[in-house]
């Protein structure tokens, strides 16, 4: 009897992890907390939080969420592409020996940094940052 129970528990763990990966790869979730919520409350898997509450598992799920969202993100606007090309042109003609970041440098940055950079480049008006009520 114990073997059947152990097999069932192993199957539940495996199925929970498979679903967690599927949800992360869908691009609809921000991070592991959203996945834990979806598994627990939308899918009725009461033990999901405990199964994915491991630092390595959280890191993997967060990475997969970020990668999936980036694949679904729209291509950059032509203005952003032109700005990157202008920076590259300045970097190539500059006498300064300090090297400016290249487009490839941003591709290697963590996804949250790329999203933050994209947010500031898309906002267009830095004055909006100080518009909160005092």
First CA to last CA across the chain, in angstroms?
65
Is 114 part of a structural domain of the chain? yes
Domain match, 28 and 47 both:
yes
**Residue 34 confidence (pLDDT):** 93
More confident residue, 88 or 90: 88
Looking at the fold, whether 101 and 65 belong to one and the same domain comes out as no
18 and 61 belong to one structural domain: yes
Rounded to an integer, what is the distance from CA 60 to the centroid of its chain? 11
pLDDT (0 to 100) of residue 134: 43
Same domain assignment for residues 43 and 13 = yes
- Residue 39 near residue 16 (C-beta atoms within 8 A): yes
Span 8-20, pLDDT tens digits: 888 888 998 999 9
Q: Are residues 60 and 37 in the same domain?
A: yes
Q: Report H helices in the chain.
A: 2-26, 32-37, 48-52, 55-72, 78-93, 103-108, 111-123
Q: Do 67 and 7 have their domain in common?
A: yes
Please check whether residues 82 and 56 belong to one and the same domain.
no
Residues 103 and 120 in one domain: yes
Residue numbers of the domain that contains 52: 2-72
Q: Which residues contact 69 (CB under 8 A, 6 or more apart)?
A: 27, 30, 111
Q: What pLDDT digit, counting tens, does each position of 31-87 carry?
A: 999 999 999 888 888 888 888 888 999 999 999 999 999 988 876 666 666 766 766
């Amino acid at each position: 009897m114990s073997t059947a129970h152990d097999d069932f528990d192993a199957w539940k763990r495996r199925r929970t992890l498979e679903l967690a990966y599927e949800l992360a790869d869908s691009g609809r979730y921000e991070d592991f907390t959203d996945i834990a919520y979806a598994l627990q409350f939308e899918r009725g898997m009461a033990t999901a939080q405990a199964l994915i509450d491991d630092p390595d598992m959280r890191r993997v799920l967060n990475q997969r969420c970020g990668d999936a969202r980036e694949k679904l993100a729209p291509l950059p606007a032509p203005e952003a592409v032109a700005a990157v090309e202008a920076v590259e042109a300045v970097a190539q003609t500059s006498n300064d020996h300090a090297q400016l970041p290249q487009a490839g440098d941003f591709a290697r940055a963590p996804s949250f940094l790329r999203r933050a950079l994209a947010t500031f480049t898309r906002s267009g008006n830095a004055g909006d940052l100080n518009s909160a009520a005092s």
